[in-house]
Amino acid sequence: MVNIVIFASGNGTNAENIARHFAGSNSVKVAALFTGNPRAGAIERMSRYGVPCRIFSREQWNNPVEIVDELKRLDTRLIVLAGFLSMVHKPVIDAVGGNIINIHPSLLPRHGGKGMWGINVHRAVLEAGDRESGITIHYVTEEIDGGSIICQRRCPVLPGDTPEELAMRVHALEYEAFPAVIEQLAAQL
Ligand code: GAR
């Protein structure tokens, strides 16, 4: 059994989709949700699948001794960032030997970096007049959105799209691709 821990800060639809996908799996277990936001929708969503949540303070994320301890206690082999806002520091990356991945709602390197999160990304895609968008699943390093790319999926940007409409199309790609990538990586661990 490969234990994974999901980090999420927001609504948590990707986190829930992953928990649903692996519910009853005998190869991958979603061992916990870690967040820095006590109001994250992800907390309630994950509780529906019996996934426990740990809420850490800003100080604990900045100096992640307890976070690393908890990752080790849970025998974490892979960390999955699913809409996670805080910086991830090196001790956390090292705690899982670099097996830490993120999903980003654009075709990196376009529309990545600081402040590029959620709906802001879709606004930037529309403002730039891009004809296509998509998702990027990549390894996490200390550089925001900088790690090596594992996979990308594309979708069209349609004339008259609102950021919310584009977000829905991109979310559909996320729900399909993310659990499959996690399953593949876990099989290699
Ligand atoms: C997702 O679209 C994810 O790609 C994005 O936040 C959304 C979270 O939605 N992540 C980033 O923008 C990271 N830079 P969710 O909470 O419903 O899963």
The pLDDT tens digits of the residues spanning 70-114 come to: 999 999 999 999 999 988 999 999 999 999 999 999 999 999 998
Total domains, the chain: 1
Quick one: pLDDT at residue 86? 87
Q: How far is CA 31 from the centre of its chain?
A: 15
Quick one: pLDDT at residue 80? 98
Among 87, 103, 122, the mutation site with the greatest number of ligand 1 atoms within 8 A of its Cβ is 103
Q: Name the average pLDDT for the chain.
A: 97
- The one catalytic residue among 104, 111, 122, 138: 104
The H or E element containing residue 135 is strand 132-139
Quick one: pLDDT at residue 144? 87
Per-residue burial over 139-153, b = 16 or more CB atoms within 10 Å of its CB, e = otherwise: bbbeebbebeebebb
Per the structure, the complete domain to which residue 134 belongs is given by 2-188
Q: Is-catalytic flag, 104?
A: yes
The pLDDT tens digits of the residues spanning 23-74 come to: 999 999 999 999 999 999 999 999 999 999 999 999 999 999 999 999 999 9
The C-alpha angle 42, 3, 172, rounded to 5 degrees, equals 45
Cα of 115 vs centre of ligand 1, distance in Å, is 12
CATH of the domain at 137: 3.40.50.170
